[in-house]
């Protein structure tokens, strides 16, 4: 059966980060998902470690590896994962970030309740310094890991080949009239390693 949510996770060589990322997904209360891990052509030993981690994570997780290193801020790995996604809803979870267990339920509920919504997003615990809870989304005020997108609104190619491509994607969708909803609860963590109490929960 096709899962309702696809989680696209990009990684180069941060194997320990990826392990914690996968653990956070395993702790989700919402279980109707697939996770696609896309690696950016790391060295063979790292690639082997990533493949082992994906196998350890279980049947909901699969691994794709780019043939050549792109080093373009995760754009090409994200696009590759998006092309392989089969779910109605899609999100992006970088290897050093995490979801809290109750992350998906309110986002899926919002999109289910309003077919006209293009994406719904939670607030973000940001790098141990602040909470991002902007409504509407603003540049430097939303991370790509926060939204759950309706797959049909996402382009096959990201709109800008720049470091801020994640914000450019969201801004482009908003400029196109795509509607959104903010869920004012911090359920996404940017830079999990600076939140030791959450790290303990994933041990």
Query: Torsions phi, psi of 105, nearest 5?
Result: -55, -50
CA dihedral of residues 98, 188, 115, 26 (deg, nearest 10): 30
Distance CA 66, CA 40 (A): 5
- 197 and 136 Cβ atoms separated by less than 8 Å: no
The 3-state DSSP class for residue 44 equals: helix
Q: What is the CATH number of the domain that holds 169?
A: 3.90.550.10
Looking at residue 161, its pLDDT comes to: 77
Residue that the structure tokens 């080949």 belong to = 161
- pTM value is 0.97
The token pair that represents 188 in the structure block: 């996404």
Report whether 79 contacts 157 (CB < 8 A): yes
List Cα–Cα distances, 32 to 2, 7, 25, 157, 174, in angstroms.
9, 11, 11, 26, 28
Task: List the domain range (segments joined by +) for residue 107.
Answer: 5-201
Question: What is the count of structural domains for the chain?
Answer: 1
* pLDDT over 90 at 200, yes or no: no
* Sequence-separated (6 or more) residues with CB below 8 Å from residue 125: 131, 186, 188, 189, 190, 195
pLDDT digits (tens, 9 = 90+) for 140-177: 999 999 999 999 999 988 887 788 899 999 999 999 99
Q: Which residues pair with 148 in a beta bridge?
A: 120
Dihedral over Cα of 17, 96, 104, 86: its sign: negative
Nearest to 91 by CA among 101, 81, 77: 81
- Asked whether the predicted pLDDT for residue 21 surpasses 90, the reply is yes
Quote the pLDDT of residue 162: 84
pLDDT of residue 194: 95
Tokens of 82: 């998006």
Whole-angstrom distance, CA of residue 85 vs CA of residue 36 = 8
In the three-class reduction of DSSP (H, G, I as helix; E, B as strand; rest coil), residue 108 is classed as helix
């Amino acid at each position: 059966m096709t899962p309702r949510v696809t989680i696209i996770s990009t990684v180069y060589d941060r194997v320990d980060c990826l392990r914690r990322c996968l653990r956070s997904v395993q702790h989700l209360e919402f279980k109707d998902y697939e996770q696609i891990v896309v690696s950016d052509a790391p060295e063979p030993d790292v690639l082997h470690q990533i493949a082992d981690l994906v196998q350890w994570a279980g049947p909901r997780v699969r691994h794709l590896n780019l043939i050549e290193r792109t080093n373009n801020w995760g754009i090409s790995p994200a696009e590759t994962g998006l092309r392989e996604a089969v779910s109605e809803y899609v999100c992006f979870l970088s290897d050093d970030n995490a979801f809290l267990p109750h992350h998906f339920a309110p986002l899926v509920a919002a999109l289910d309740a309003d077919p006209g919504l293009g994406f719904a997003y939670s607030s973000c615990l940001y790098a141990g310094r602040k909470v991002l809870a902007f409504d509407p989304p603003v540049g430097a005020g939303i991370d790509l890991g926060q939204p759950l997108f309706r797959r049909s609104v996402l382009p096959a190619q990201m709109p800008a080949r720049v470091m801020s491509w994640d914000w450019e994607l969201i801004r482009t969708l908003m400029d196109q009239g795509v509607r959104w909803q903010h869920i004012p609860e911090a359920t996404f963590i940017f830079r999990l390693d600076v939140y030791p109490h959450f790290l303990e929960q994933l041990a």
